Structures are given as C-alpha cells and as structure tokens.
Structure 1
Amino acid sequence: MMIESGFFNRMKKLQVIRMLGSGMDIGELNEYAYEICFLLIQNIFLRELRENHHRTRDDMLFITEKILQDMDLLYSKEEVERIVDGTLWYREPTKQEGFKTRVYHETTRTKEEYIFRYFKVDREHSHWEQGGSTVYMLTEESQEMIFITREILEEFGFNLEQFYTLQLIKTGNFMKARNSIDNLMARVRVLINREKEYRRDIIRDPQNIFFDRSIRGKKSEDEIKGQFEEEQKVFANMFSWRNRYDVLPEDKKQEAEMMFENLEGARLLHDSLAKHVMENLALELEIRVKYPESFWNISSFSFKKDIWQNHIVKNGLRDIEDLEKVVSPLFSPKTEFIYPLEWAWSEQMIKQKRSIKKEEDMTLEDGWKFRETDWELLIELYEEIFTALLENGRFSILELNKKSEEEKGKWLRQRENVDLFMMFVISKVTLDMNHSGEDERLRLFKGLCSKNPIFKELHGKKILSKIEDAEETFVWKELFISPYTIYIEE
C-alpha cells in the first residue's frame, strides 16, 4: 500500500504547523507572522512550565510587543492585537472558534474536517468566580509542535525539562514522564562527561580555566550552588506526588512506581553532577591560590632551537642513521598501550559480583584479592535502623548526622553500608525472614532476625520511602544524600 497507516494523524500535526500565523492581515509583518506566533507560543509554554500564571490575553499582547521590539520590527497596536487574536482563534475573534482544515484520511479515502486550537483555557488558574481574567495554556497540538525535535531542549536547558517532567507527573501521564526522565538522565550524563573532560583539561593545562568558559559560563560559585538547590527542590516536588497515587488502580500504580524508580536514578545522577561540578570549582580555586605561576609559565624548550640548531647543526651527528632515530618519532610515534586503571577496577568489581565465595577473602594465583562484604558490620549498623522501624515505624537518614566520628568511620568503612540504605529508598520491599534469594535487603533482615528474634515482628511488613521537605541534608565528607525517610506501610 502506497499510503501508510497513520497518515491522517501525521498530516494533522503538519497542518498545525502549516496554519500557524496564516490568514492574518498585518501588513508588512505578514512575512514574519509564522516566527512571531511561534515565539508567542514558546513564551507562554515557558511560563506554563515555570507555573507563572501571567498567561492572559493582555499578557500575550505584552509578550508580542516585546518580540517585535527584539526583532527590530515596526508595528501598531492594532497589528499586535491581530497577531494575538489570530493565534487564539480562527478568523473572527468574536466567535472564538477553533482552527478548521480538511485532511485526507487513508481509511475512508476522503477528506475529513479537523478542528484544533493552539491555546486552551487553564481553568485551574483562571478564577472566573473571583472576577479574574482568562488564563491560557498550550494544547497538546502546540506542545507537540514545540517538541517536534528534541534539539529545542538544548535551548530550554535542564531545569525546564525538569518542569516539563513535573507537569507530566501532576497530570498522571506516566509514560511521557518516563520518556522525559530518560531525557533528563541523558542530559545529566552529557554534563557529567563535560565536567570530567574539563577536569582533565585543566590538570593538563591550567590556562584552560580562562579559555574554556563553555562549561558553565561566567556563573559564580554561589549562583551554581543556588541552581543545584533549585533543581533539588523540583526533584523533591516530583517525589511529593508519590503518595498521592496510592489510590490508583494496580496497573497504573505499578506504572507510577516504575516511573518514580527512574526518577530516583535521575536524582542520584544529578547528585553526582553536583559533586563533579563542586570538585572542579574547588580544583580551580586551589590552582589559582597555590599554583598561580602555572598560568604564565611557558615552555622555553623547542625542537628547532634546542635540538636542531644548538646540537645537530652545531655538533653534527656520528652516523647519518642517527638522524632517522631523531626525526622518525616525530612523524610516526609509537606509544605503548596501557590499560586505563578504571578498566582494571571495573573488571575486579564485575568478578566480585559474579563470584560466589564462602571465605572472607579469595586469593587468586596472581595475588589479587576479592573483597567480601562484611555482613556482621552491616547487621550491627542496621540494628538501630530496624529498631526504629519496629518502635516508630520510620527512620530518617538525617538521624545519622548525629553520629560520632568513630561511628561515621564504621558507616564509611565499606560502600555497601550506605548503598543498602539507598536500595530501600529506590524501591519498596516486603520483609521476609525466610528469603533465600539474592536480594541483599532481605538477606540483611534475615541476619537481623537471627541475631535478635524481636525483629521477626516485622516479617511481612512493606518498607516504602519518601523525601522529607527539610532544609537539613545528609552530608558526610564528600557523601551527599537528600533527606530520605524509610517507613513501614500501615
């Protein structure tokens, strides 16, 4: 078949774009109508994402005037009103009709009428009963037009993708929210890689601190910290919706849980990005203060002057073949390949996870040792946490801020101590003292029950997590964790 299934729906989206700014009588501005209307829609969309309620017709008139001024175009008040009304409604503004067009349908083989709008009424924020003006928001057709290519996100930036995700979570559109979270994670990974490359660059040549400003522009350290704090608040706002979806049907509830698990991964990645950025800022400061000479020291050594002119031309060579030995490395250098240290550690970690070991340490023939998790230490540390769950039904990670330096040392002795807490945070679990699988959380619970039978009262209980709305955070040296609380489901 020459016409594919879905042709009608695809053409509808193109019609939305094709009709934007058409049919307006705005004189010399007609050739700019398409761009002006798109910029108007984009500005309203940005305000919607930022929960800015200034989206009335009067606000649109103001935005349009500002757009025309930025484009250095001459305009009249009447032309501005025609642009706004021509984007809000089709033809006669007094009728307030939707845009109409006819699109060929591959099934009926006829043209069918298609009616759409670029804006719809935001009933939640209009407050007509209080005499408020009508507030507008984008329709799905307009949103699709904005996101017709993902490149537009480069212009919006990370924080607006966050706001877009938040809007999807609020409306219960979990599938789209998961896609948006994937985009968030992809953007964060790109930013983390940039920071890693930037660190390598400034270590190799500190002058890159001045030359490479594309990483974070000219923002001060306080501005960067403020930005990260704002982004963390948006993450907290997203997670605050988690408990509201407990009343959903089981299939939708499961879909929401999967989405929130992805969101937790994005938040942890964001924490990692913040860590890399702050470490690089600290490195910049250290280089500026301790090694200022590195910015102006230029190597005075050169092949032409020091080797060719001062040695070979002046003293000559004992054998003509020596010339080849001197010159050939410059044109065909051979560097022995050395495996990166990261690869070596990665290989050890993989083997550690896949190997089943009965002894505390397993020594290989070449001398390498696998490190076994210290479960006795884990059970000792988590006894306090499970006692709190048993007595109070909840435990906040902020409680660990009260620990002494000696107790903190125990918690930081192996990474599994904190990782296991984050496993409770990321996904819910039902406690089972008879568990024989690979879930480390249940292995921990089983060990606690063996040590102290009182914990058997928690058998069959479900542990969930939530993020607290608190200014305090969990900060130990370079370890930063949001204020999570794990609790027993009633």
Structure 2
Amino acid sequence: MMIESGFFNRMKKLQSIRMLGSGMDLGELNEYAYEICFLLIQNIFLRELRENENRTRDDMLFITEKILKDMDLQCNKEVVERVVDGTLWYREPTKQEGFKTRIYNEATKTKEDYIFRYFKVDREHSHWEQGGSTVYMLTEESQEMIFITREILEEFGFDLEQFYTLQLIKTGNFAKARNSIDNLMARVRVLINREKEYRRDIIRNPQNIFFDRNIRGKKSEDEIKEQFEDEQKVFANMFSWRNRYDALPEDKKREAEIMFENLERARLLHDSLAKHVMENLALELEIRVKYPESFWKISSFSFKKDIWQNHIVKNGLRSIDDLEGIVSTLFSPKTEFIYPLDWAWSEQIVKKKRSARKDLDTTLDVDWKFRETDWDLLVELYEEVFTALLEDGKFSILQLNEKNREEKEKWLSQRENIDIFMMFVISKVTLDIKHTGEDERLKLFKGLCNKKPIIKALHGKKILSKIEDTEETFAWNELFISPYTIYVEE
C-alpha cells in the first residue's frame, strides 16, 4: 500500500490525541481519564480566549475538581493532582518533560522521536519578576484538538472563531487568516438572518418570545452588550497588528492589506448584527410592556380533538409504528425546552366580563392595564408564601382562597402578583440572593431577604412545582388557575 506524503504530520496530530490521559493511575476513574483531560484543556482554552489569567496549576486543580463534581465522580486530592500533572508533563512531574512517542516518517523511512506538550508557559501573563505563579496556555497540538471539528466551533460560537483569527494574524499566517475571516463573515450573516427571521416571527406571534430561546439563550441585555463590547475589543486587537507588518516585503505586505480589508468588512457586519440584536431586544421589551395580553391568548388546538379524534380516529394510520412515533413524544422523560408562560395560562379559563353583580366578585373587577411594578406590594404579598416554603417546604395557590376581600384586591391589583407565581410553576429555579440578572423571581427573593432576613435560609434551595390531585380550584372572579403547589426540593 502506497504511503502518501504528509503521513508523518498526520500521525503527529493523531498521537497527541491518542496519548491524552494515558499512563495515569486514577484507579476506578481510569476509563474517564481521556474525557477529564480534554475538558481540562477545553476550560483552559476558554480562559485563554477571554484573557483570563487564572490558568496556573492551582487553577487547573480547581477546574478538575469541578469537572469531576459535574460528572458525579468521587475522587480524592491525589487523583486530581495526577490528572493535572499527567496533562502538564510526561511521566515524572518533577522532571517536567514533554510527551514523547516514535512515529514512522515516510520521507526518511524510519521511526523518529516526536516530543510535544499539551500546555506551554504563557510568558506574557506569568509575571515571574513580581513573584507570580506560572500561567499556562495551549500548545498548537492542543489547539488542533479544539479546532479539529466544526461542531466544536459551533458550540463555542463567534468569539472562538475570532480568537483563532487573531492567533493566525499574530503568527503572520495571512492565507489561513483570510479563510477564517470569511468564516467569521459567513457566521455573522447567518446570525443576522436569524435575527431578521426572529423579528418577523415575534411580530406575527409574540408568544415566539418564549419559544425561540435558541436565539440568544437566557442572556440579559447587559450580558449581550458586554459580549458585543468584548468582541469589538478582539477586532481592535486584530487591527493593532496592522502597523507591525509595514516592514514586510511588498508581496507579503499586499497580502496583509487584503486580509485587513476583509477584516474591516467583517467588523462592519458585526456592527450590523449588534444593531439587529439590540433592536429586537427593544421590540421584546415594548411588546412585554405595552401588549402583555398577547401572551395570554388561549390556544384552541388540542391533541385529543385535532390529532386523535379529527385525524387518527377518522382517517386511521398507515402503520402501527406511526402510533409509537406520535405517543412516545408525549411521554418522553427528556424535556428539550422550558415550558413557556403562556402554556400554563392556556389551562386557565378567562370568561367574558359580565354586567355588575351584587355579590362579592363585583368588587374585584380591576383594571389591569400596564403600570410600573409595585415591588413593595409584591414583597408584602409573597412574605407569607416564602415563610410557608421556609417552615413547611411548600405553598399551594389554593391557600389564597382563604383571603378576605381586601387581601384579594391587593393580589389582583397588578398582573405581576399572579404572574410571578406562575413563573415558579413553569420552570424550576434555584434561589440566589447574589443574583444580578433579570429573573423577577430572584429579584423578589432578594427583596424578601432584605425585609425578613430569616428567609435567607432558603438561599441555594431549588423551587419546583406540581399540580395537586384535588377537586378544589382557585377561582377569583374572572381568574381560574389549576391547583398548583410550589415546593422546596429536598
């Protein structure tokens, strides 16, 4: 069989992957060594990407402990040290040798020694002269492992592609840098088109604000702004290298200029993406504030009527296997997304307004037009809810049925009073007094802790929900809600 040119270089890349995590004595964790070491490299790479200097050996020990904890693996300090030292150095850590293997070279027709490392010293950030610890960064071999598939690039996103481009510019590899810039522009165009489609979708149906969580995940507006600012800094860092190539030969200098021209187009596209994202965030806010009723429309579609009765019973199925495909999705234990708020509201019954009645309910007709949230009132109302969670571990909305007329008027005075309870119902949340994001449940929790410090005991607790098996209902005037109970996870 003929050996193609380049075999030696290909084998070098494969050997660095093959040897990762090998030779470590981790006891029962030996079978996980490869995955743990790769996750360590991946985490250090992300810190390097974000200019985070916390990449010392001690930092690696902490990262490895966290990885093992996330993987639900039990270990001791000795095992953690073996993982870190076994990724930093070959065999004896005290010798700090590089990894060594022998590979067949098709050019010389002999086996040759190949020595490599997964990490090298980051001299720029080590600050030895100030007594600082050694900071590490990825070698080219480790970077190859990260960049070996486009799937990983997609997972990390735009900032990783930027970082890769910056590394190519620093090393003067203009040809590869131009290709990477083309990838940057292609990625940005995809993101711009996604934002345009998202805008059209939420204008047609505002409820897509809850469904299309894959657009930007759960990031707040401030986090998105900070992300764009960080990406702009990387662009500025790239352009800072322009003047350093003035002394190059004319042909190389022209190649660099073409690359920087393409980079400027990528930066302009990135500015356009930021504009589309911020406009969509503003539109979301406007819809939430001015048209909250658009989220509470009750769907007339149901599985029983539209799928089972009107289609399956009426027309039948081509194969019995089709039935499994339909039913299995309903009982799958894996939930792919968080149920949006309007799904919970779709269970509720909103009746048409009736003429004035003489009974108690007529006094509860309240105008629920948008107004600024009264957080003092929210804290007052939810004090008993969180006190029940603290003392009993649970609170049922049916307990509100015991309220008198004046207390009911307070609960119905603004939508947020009931909405926040439904937010607890729809998705689980871990109470965090230090949270600084936009989650209104955690904002409420912080307010309650300030008013009643004993509630701080719930910090770190996870709140879940369930529906009670009871005939009793929660029905106030035009508001009907199923018997939900929120509770603290044991």
Query: For this structure pair, what is the TM-score category when the shorter chain's length is used for normalisation?
Result: 0.5 to 0.7
What is the CA distance between 1:85 and its match in structure 2? 1.3
Q: Distance in 2 between matches of 1:17 and 1:91?
A: 17
Distance of aligned partners of 1:278 and 1:177 in 2 relative to their CA distance in 1, 3 Å threshold: same
Q: Distance in 1 between matches of 2:156 and 2:300?
A: 46
Task: Give 1:134's aligned residue.
Answer: 134
> For 1:285, what is the secondary structure of its paired residue?
helix
Task: Give 2:121's aligned residue.
Answer: 121
Q: Distance in 1 between matches of 2:213 and 2:228?
A: 19
Distance of aligned partners of 1:218 and 1:44 in 2 relative to their CA distance in 1, 3 Å threshold: closer
Task: Give 1:324's aligned residue.
Answer: none
So what's the TM-score if we normalise by structure 1?
0.57
Q: Distance in 2 between matches of 1:38 and 1:130?
A: 31
Q: Which deviations, in whole Å up to 9, do the C-alpha atoms of 1:301-342 show, x marking residues without a partner? A: 9xxx9xxxxxxxxxxxxxxxxxxxxxxxxxxxxxxxxxxxxx
What is the CA distance between 1:298 and its match in structure 2? 5.9
Of residues 34-43 and 229-238 in structure 1, the stretch that sits farther from structure 2 once superposed is 229-238
Of residues 286-295 and 266-275 in structure 1, the stretch that sits farther from structure 2 once superposed is 286-295
Contact 1:49-1:167 at 8 Å conserved across structures:
no
2:110 pairs with 1:110: yes
Q: Distance in 1 between matches of 2:283 and 2:123?
A: 50
Contact 1:49-1:164 at 8 Å conserved across structures:
no
Task: Give 1:82's aligned residue.
Answer: 82
Distance of aligned partners of 1:300 and 1:243 in 2 relative to their CA distance in 1, 3 Å threshold: same
What is the CA distance between 1:131 and its match in structure 2? 3.2
Q: Which deviations, in whole Å up to 9, do the C-alpha atoms of 1:188-227 show, x marking residues without a partner? A: 1111111121122122222212222221123333332332
Q: Distance in 2 between matches of 1:210 and 1:34?
A: 38
What is the CA distance between 1:24 and its match in structure 2? 0.7
Of residues 263-272 and 232-241 in structure 1, the stretch that sits farther from structure 2 once superposed is 232-241
2:26 pairs with 1:26: yes
Of residues 80-89 and 162-171 in structure 1, the stretch that sits farther from structure 2 once superposed is 162-171
Q: Which deviations, in whole Å up to 9, do the C-alpha atoms of 1:51-71 show, x marking residues without a partner? A: 222222222222212211221
Task: Give 2:94's aligned residue.
Answer: 94
Task: Give 2:162's aligned residue.
Answer: 162
Q: Which amino acid aligns with 2:106?
A: E
So what's the TM-score if we normalise by structure 2?
0.57
Larger-Rg structure: 1
Q: Distance in 2 between matches of 1:170 and 1:70?
A: 36
Task: Give 1:4's aligned residue.
Answer: 4
Task: Give 2:389's aligned residue.
Answer: none
Task: Give 1:264's aligned residue.
Answer: 264
What is the CA distance between 1:119 and its match in structure 2? 1.3
- Map 1:232-243; keep pairs closer than 5 Å: 232-243=232-243
Task: Give 1:231's aligned residue.
Answer: 231
What is the CA distance between 1:15 and its match in structure 2? 0.7
Task: Give 2:67's aligned residue.
Answer: 67
What is the CA distance between 1:293 and its match in structure 2? 4.4
Q: Distance in 2 between matches of 1:174 and 1:23?
A: 39
Contact 1:48-1:137 at 8 Å conserved across structures:
yes
Q: Distance in 1 between matches of 2:114 and 2:272?
A: 47
- Map 1:24-423; keep pairs closer than 5 Å: 24-297=24-297
> For 1:151, what is the secondary structure of its paired residue?
helix
> For 2:17, what is the secondary structure of its paired residue?
helix
> For 2:150, what is the secondary structure of its paired residue?
coil
Aligned-residue CA RMSD in angstroms?
2.5
Give the number of equivalent residue pairs: 303
Contact 1:228-1:274 at 8 Å conserved across structures:
yes
Q: Which deviations, in whole Å up to 9, do the C-alpha atoms of 1:149-172 show, x marking residues without a partner? A: 121112212223323333333343
Task: Give 1:401's aligned residue.
Answer: none
Same amino acid, percent of matched pairs: 91
Gaps of 5+ in 2: 306-490
Q: Which amino acid aligns with 2:124?
A: E
Q: Which amino acid aligns with 2:273?
A: L
Q: Which deviations, in whole Å up to 9, do the C-alpha atoms of 1:75-95 show, x marking residues without a partner? A: 122211111111111112222
What is the CA distance between 1:255 and its match in structure 2? 2.2
What is the CA distance between 1:142 and its match in structure 2? 1.0
Q: Which deviations, in whole Å up to 9, do the C-alpha atoms of 1:247-270 show, x marking residues without a partner? A: 333233222212211111111111
What is the CA distance between 1:290 and its match in structure 2? 4.6
> For 1:215, what is the secondary structure of its paired residue?
coil
What is the CA distance between 1:38 and its match in structure 2? 0.6
> For 2:120, what is the secondary structure of its paired residue?
strand
Task: Give 1:375's aligned residue.
Answer: none
Contact 1:24-1:82 at 8 Å conserved across structures:
yes
Distance of aligned partners of 1:19 and 1:195 in 2 relative to their CA distance in 1, 3 Å threshold: same
Q: Which deviations, in whole Å up to 9, do the C-alpha atoms of 1:393-426 show, x marking residues without a partner? A: xxxxxxxxxxxxxxxxxxxxxxxxxxxxxxxxxx
What is the CA distance between 1:291 and its match in structure 2? 4.2
Of residues 58-67 and 285-294 in structure 1, the stretch that sits farther from structure 2 once superposed is 285-294
Q: Distance in 2 between matches of 1:59 and 1:176?
A: 32
Q: Which amino acid aligns with 1:159?
A: D
Contact 1:90-1:96 at 8 Å conserved across structures:
yes
What is the CA distance between 1:229 and its match in structure 2? 2.6
Gaps of 5+ in 1: 306-490
Q: Which amino acid aligns with 2:202?
A: I
Distance of aligned partners of 1:277 and 1:113 in 2 relative to their CA distance in 1, 3 Å threshold: same
Q: Which deviations, in whole Å up to 9, do the C-alpha atoms of 1:89-117 show, x marking residues without a partner? A: 11122222211112122233332221111
Contact 1:161-1:180 at 8 Å conserved across structures:
yes
